[in-house]
Structure 1
């Protein structure tokens, strides 16, 4: 897996101060995407054990609330296979820190049921995500007044509660 960028003090991609990893590779190709260069799976730098260690060190700061995964598309199966073991390390070392994940996939249609996005890592990965921002960016529904998302169709989902209850529970931050 490759990544395009790491932000170590991000306040735009989740509640609080976060470490954000922008992974490379996305097949959604949403019109108007703010990060289209990350559609290419080989964009940026290789994600290595050293990269993981660097991210874990950044997360150690007391003022950091958690990790945000975005891209590109973290839920591309190729990316899930690399991210799931890394997320395990994050949860083991920092169980109190939240993980947010941005995906163009719709939870109920593409991540919880058979689809090209599901792989052997999907359920484990979903179990470690606290907040999932789902849905493709739709330029015609762009809304710059929304908190933590770009278009009206996207949802901020309390994934822990959703998986526990079996009902999609959204968080209203607007």
Structure 2
């Protein structure tokens, strides 16, 4: 079990990073370097700070207003052991888990990396795809560009086909 993750920061209460009120954890390190990235400070893999997963879960449990946790980036799938552990603990505590990734859902599945599959297993909603500045829209719910999708991971796994979330 991984006890720490490298993060760029935490937002304790957000209403723009998923349904309801959410704690948002920003992974440190990203290979995508999307033009117009909302979080360029997260790109450096050596930046940020190491934080105990238990400390994040404890922080969540202190706030009765929280509906869930959002794993954003940087790229959470490049720290799959730690972020899957965080997601698993959050779900066990009754929280909804939403994960952002620059990879497409299909790429995550094709890679057949068991560590990536574990993070997907503990993700309820996935926002996939790189941010594309030419497809940017401020009118989209919980995503920055039209190419990005909000995927219901559980339903997609049950039906063995891509199922978009009703909130998209």
TM > 0.5 between the two?
yes
Map of 2:135 onto structure 1: 141
Query: Is residue 62 of structure 2 the alignment partner of residue 57 of structure 1?
Result: no
CA RMSD of aligned residues (A): 1.4
Aligned length: 163
Distance 1:57 1:120 in 2: 27
Residues 21-32 of structure 1 aligned to structure 2 (within 5 Å):
21-32=25-36
Structure 1 residue 125: deviation in Å? 1.1
Map of 1:107 onto structure 2: 105
Distance 2:160 2:150 in 1: 16
Distance 1:166 1:72 in 2: 28
Unaligned runs of 5+ in 1: none
Distance 1:103 1:131 in 2: 11
Write the deviation string for residues 45-90 of structure 1: whole angstroms up to 9, x where unpaired.
Answer: 113x2xx2331122212221011000101112xx112212232222
Write the deviation string for residues 103-135 of structure 1: whole angstroms up to 9, x where unpaired.
Answer: 010001x10002xxx533111111110000001
Distance 1:146 1:87 in 2: 25
Structure 1 residue 172: deviation in Å? 4.1
Distance 2:39 2:113 in 1: 25
The SS at the match of 1:41 is coil
Map of 2:154 onto structure 1: 160
Tell whether the 8 Å contact from 2:127 to 2:149 is kept in structure 1 after alignment. yes
Structure 1 residue 14: deviation in Å? 0.3
Distance 1:119 1:17 in 2: 31
